[in-house]
Amino acid sequence: MSRVRPETLIPDFDILSYELRLFRKHFLVMNALYQLQDELLLQNEYLSIDPLDIIILPASETPETGLSESTVSALRDYYLDWQHYAETELEDVNALLHSFWTAYHDTNSRQDALDVLGLDKRVDIREIKTRYRQLISEHHPDKGGDRMQFVSIRQAFELLMQLEQ
Protein backbone atom coordinates (compact mmCIF):
# COMPACT_ATOMS: atom_id res chain seq x y z
CA MET A 1 0.00 0.00 0.00
CA SER A 2 1.44 3.35 -1.00
CA ARG A 3 1.19 6.27 1.37
CA VAL A 4 0.78 9.88 0.37
CA ARG A 5 3.60 11.99 1.66
CA PRO A 6 2.37 15.21 3.33
CA GLU A 7 4.78 17.36 1.33
CA THR A 8 3.04 16.32 -1.92
CA LEU A 9 -0.24 17.81 -0.68
CA ILE A 10 1.13 21.33 -0.37
CA PRO A 11 2.30 23.15 -3.49
CA ASP A 12 5.88 24.32 -3.82
CA PHE A 13 5.53 27.93 -2.72
CA ASP A 14 9.28 28.59 -2.96
CA ILE A 15 9.11 29.22 -6.72
CA LEU A 16 6.59 32.05 -6.32
CA SER A 17 7.00 35.68 -5.33
CA TYR A 18 6.24 36.61 -1.74
CA GLU A 19 2.93 38.26 -2.67
CA LEU A 20 1.75 35.29 -4.75
CA ARG A 21 2.75 32.84 -1.99
CA LEU A 22 0.80 34.91 0.51
CA PHE A 23 -2.23 34.99 -1.80
CA ARG A 24 -2.18 31.21 -2.38
CA LYS A 25 -1.84 30.42 1.32
CA HIS A 26 -4.64 32.85 2.13
CA PHE A 27 -6.79 31.32 -0.61
CA LEU A 28 -6.27 27.81 0.79
CA VAL A 29 -7.31 28.91 4.28
CA MET A 30 -10.38 30.81 3.05
CA ASN A 31 -11.43 27.95 0.78
CA ALA A 32 -11.21 25.52 3.71
CA LEU A 33 -13.24 27.87 5.92
CA TYR A 34 -16.02 28.20 3.35
CA GLN A 35 -16.10 24.42 2.86
CA LEU A 36 -16.31 24.00 6.62
CA GLN A 37 -19.11 26.56 6.68
CA ASP A 38 -21.13 24.29 4.34
CA GLU A 39 -20.50 21.24 6.52
CA LEU A 40 -21.49 23.05 9.71
CA LEU A 41 -24.74 24.26 8.15
CA LEU A 42 -25.73 20.60 7.80
CA GLN A 43 -25.34 20.40 11.59
CA ASN A 44 -27.46 23.53 12.06
CA GLU A 45 -24.43 25.66 12.93
CA TYR A 46 -23.07 28.71 11.17
CA LEU A 47 -19.40 29.53 10.72
CA SER A 48 -19.10 33.30 10.70
CA ILE A 49 -16.10 34.25 8.58
CA ASP A 50 -14.80 37.75 9.17
CA PRO A 51 -11.12 38.68 8.78
CA LEU A 52 -10.71 39.33 12.50
CA ASP A 53 -13.41 37.08 13.93
CA ILE A 54 -14.12 33.48 12.93
CA ILE A 55 -16.69 31.82 15.20
CA ILE A 56 -19.22 29.00 15.17
CA LEU A 57 -22.76 29.97 16.10
CA PRO A 58 -26.17 28.32 16.01
CA ALA A 59 -27.53 28.76 12.48
CA SER A 60 -30.30 31.00 13.84
CA GLU A 61 -27.73 33.54 15.15
CA THR A 62 -26.08 34.77 11.97
CA PRO A 63 -24.14 37.90 13.02
CA GLU A 64 -23.98 41.25 11.26
CA THR A 65 -20.61 41.64 9.55
CA GLY A 66 -21.00 45.15 8.19
CA LEU A 67 -20.80 43.69 4.67
CA SER A 68 -23.74 43.48 2.32
CA GLU A 69 -25.18 40.05 1.51
CA SER A 70 -23.98 40.42 -2.08
CA THR A 71 -20.41 41.10 -0.89
CA VAL A 72 -20.47 38.10 1.47
CA SER A 73 -21.82 35.93 -1.35
CA ALA A 74 -19.22 37.24 -3.81
CA LEU A 75 -16.37 36.50 -1.38
CA ARG A 76 -17.69 33.01 -0.78
CA ASP A 77 -18.04 32.33 -4.52
CA TYR A 78 -14.56 33.69 -5.16
CA TYR A 79 -12.82 31.50 -2.60
CA LEU A 80 -14.72 28.35 -3.60
CA ASP A 81 -13.69 28.72 -7.25
CA TRP A 82 -10.34 26.96 -7.71
CA GLN A 83 -9.85 28.75 -11.01
CA HIS A 84 -9.00 31.90 -9.02
CA TYR A 85 -6.30 29.97 -7.18
CA ALA A 86 -4.77 28.58 -10.36
CA GLU A 87 -5.02 31.60 -12.65
CA THR A 88 -4.17 34.49 -10.34
CA GLU A 89 -0.86 36.08 -11.29
CA LEU A 90 1.37 38.55 -9.43
CA GLU A 91 -0.22 41.55 -11.18
CA ASP A 92 -3.67 40.33 -10.05
CA VAL A 93 -2.45 39.94 -6.46
CA ASN A 94 -0.99 43.45 -6.48
CA ALA A 95 -4.30 44.83 -7.77
CA LEU A 96 -6.21 42.88 -5.09
CA LEU A 97 -3.90 44.17 -2.35
CA HIS A 98 -4.26 47.73 -3.62
CA SER A 99 -8.06 47.46 -3.64
CA PHE A 100 -8.02 45.89 -0.16
CA TRP A 101 -5.92 48.70 1.32
CA THR A 102 -8.05 51.32 -0.43
CA ALA A 103 -11.21 49.75 1.00
CA TYR A 104 -9.54 49.40 4.41
CA HIS A 105 -8.66 53.08 4.40
CA ASP A 106 -12.20 53.97 3.26
CA THR A 107 -13.67 51.82 6.06
CA ASN A 108 -11.54 53.58 8.68
CA SER A 109 -12.32 56.97 7.16
CA ARG A 110 -16.03 56.10 7.08
CA GLN A 111 -16.00 55.10 10.74
CA ASP A 112 -14.17 58.29 11.68
CA ALA A 113 -16.73 60.36 9.76
CA LEU A 114 -19.62 58.47 11.40
CA ASP A 115 -18.04 59.15 14.80
CA VAL A 116 -17.93 62.88 14.05
CA LEU A 117 -21.65 62.76 13.26
CA GLY A 118 -22.35 60.53 16.27
CA LEU A 119 -23.79 57.73 14.13
CA ASP A 120 -23.65 53.93 14.20
CA LYS A 121 -21.96 52.12 11.30
CA ARG A 122 -25.26 50.56 10.19
CA VAL A 123 -26.97 53.74 8.98
CA ASP A 124 -28.39 54.57 5.61
CA ILE A 125 -27.88 57.70 3.57
CA ARG A 126 -31.19 59.20 4.74
CA GLU A 127 -30.10 58.96 8.40
CA ILE A 128 -26.72 60.48 7.55
CA LYS A 129 -28.37 63.46 5.85
CA THR A 130 -30.83 63.98 8.70
CA ARG A 131 -28.09 63.92 11.34
CA TYR A 132 -25.91 66.22 9.24
CA ARG A 133 -28.69 68.83 8.98
CA GLN A 134 -29.22 68.66 12.75
CA LEU A 135 -25.54 69.12 13.58
CA ILE A 136 -24.90 71.80 10.97
CA SER A 137 -27.80 73.83 12.35
CA GLU A 138 -26.63 73.34 15.93
CA HIS A 139 -22.94 74.15 15.31
CA HIS A 140 -23.21 76.86 12.63
CA PRO A 141 -20.81 79.73 13.48
CA ASP A 142 -23.50 82.32 12.69
CA LYS A 143 -25.57 80.81 15.51
CA GLY A 144 -22.77 80.79 18.06
CA GLY A 145 -21.33 77.40 17.12
CA ASP A 146 -17.66 76.45 16.91
CA ARG A 147 -16.22 77.03 13.43
CA MET A 148 -13.77 74.09 13.62
CA GLN A 149 -16.48 71.68 14.70
CA PHE A 150 -18.71 73.00 11.90
CA VAL A 151 -15.91 72.32 9.38
CA SER A 152 -15.27 68.80 10.70
CA ILE A 153 -19.00 67.99 10.47
CA ARG A 154 -19.07 69.27 6.89
CA GLN A 155 -15.95 67.26 5.93
CA ALA A 156 -17.34 64.10 7.53
CA PHE A 157 -20.60 64.51 5.65
CA GLU A 158 -18.84 65.08 2.32
CA LEU A 159 -16.68 62.00 2.81
CA LEU A 160 -19.71 59.85 3.64
CA MET A 161 -21.53 61.10 0.56
CA GLN A 162 -18.51 60.16 -1.61
CA LEU A 163 -18.29 56.69 -0.04
CA GLU A 164 -22.02 56.03 -0.32
CA GLN A 165 -22.05 56.62 -4.10
pLDDT by residue (tens digit) across 40-79? 999 999 998 877 678 898 988 877 666 677 878 888 999 9
CA–CA gap between residue 163 and residue 39 (Å, rounded): 36
Judgement on whether residues 18 and 82 belong to the same structural domain of the protein: yes
Mean per-residue pLDDT of the chain: 84
Whose CA is closest to 106, among 165, 52, 63, 22? 165
pLDDT per residue as tens digits for the range 107-118: 778 888 999 999
Q: Pick from 53, 88, 123: which residue ends a domain?
A: 88
CA dist., res. 25 & res. 10, Å (int): 10
Q: Residue 146: give the domain boundaries.
A: 93-165
- What is the percentage of the chain residues whose pLDDT exceeds 90? 37
Pick from 67, 64, 147, 156: which is nearest to 112 by CA? Answer: 156
Domain end position, chosen among 38, 69, 88: 88
End-to-end CA separation in angstroms for the chain: 61
Q: Is residue 84 located within the same domain as residue 130?
A: no
- Are residues 151 and 110 part of one domain? yes
Determine the Cα–Cα distance for residues 20 and 15; give it in Å rounded to an integer.
10
Q: Say whether both 79 and 101 belong to one domain.
A: no
Say if residue 13's pLDDT is above 70: no
Residues 66 and 99 occupy one common structural domain:
no
- 88, 123, 147: which is the final residue of a domain? 88
